[in-house]
Structure 1
Amino acid sequence: MAAVVSALPGLSGVPSAATVLFPALLAVFGGLLLGLQQAMNGATGAAVASPLAATWVNFAVGSIFLGLALTAKTLAGGPSGPAQPTAWWMYLGGLCGVVFIGTAAVLVRRIGVLLLGMASIAGQLAGSIVLDAVLPSGDHAPGAFTVAGALLTFAAVSIAARRTPAAKTS
């Protein structure tokens, strides 16, 4: 519902199903993998009693995969690609990833994959709205429907966070 509300202003010129459906399906697939990753990170962190193990494994496997991909590209004689970023702040994304994975490995065991995923999305929306308002990358600021959609997401997180007490057995 929150996504529909935030997308209402853009529904006047509806694009073809192919230009919307494929990216949406990729996003759903990525979300499924993210939920699986969070569950596995939580299990890894619990097995060794430290979120650092899950964080290290994620970045070690990711680095190995990227190294293999770069090697394959180099051996195939592919184009060298764009230059690497030179400004120090452009590498903060990696630090954010380390913090996110470590935090998620701790939280997923306490609040579950669903609530962690919902809260992560709510946090992404809040951060995105702030960034678009303070440091806009396009020519339009977040509109009222976008903010309303984000607020609905926070309401959903609040509702999902309410836990019903377990039934007592005699």
Structure 2
Amino acid sequence: MAANYSFDIVSEFDRQELVNALDQATREIQNRYDLKDTKTTVELGEEAITINTDSDFTLDAVNSLIQTKAIKRNLSLKIFDYGKVESASGTRVRQEVKLKKGISQELAKQISKLIRDEFSKIQASIQGDTVRVTAKSKDDLQDVIQRLKQEDYPTPLQFTNYR
């Protein structure tokens, strides 16, 4: 039987879960006594979250609140790429948090090199922002998944289309 098995390595997040986490965080900001009168806004854009608040102290509180809600919704904190804190009008501050999605070309090359070096019978090919891994044995693919889970990459990895 010459069947090949494969899976894709991707880096994605559930946008609806992120919307829900930000909703919960916004509700808590409106109710918490230390954040209630700060006129804090958290806006979700297409590729970033913009936080506008009173001071650096409240910005840190809002960031930790968003992270807590994201963790409860099974979102990886690696999807958040915090930009620098800018001063907005008056004493207010603004921060843009970019959302990471997809595997960069550099990371894809690094992953496929690791697979080539450690697993001789397995092929890895880069297809846009995903990496397709192919082998003749499902056990070999499982070994690759376990090996990649041991690494600490700057973006969260998911393994999809396992067949």
TM-score (norm 2): 0.30
Higher fraction of helix: 1
TM-score (norm 1): 0.29
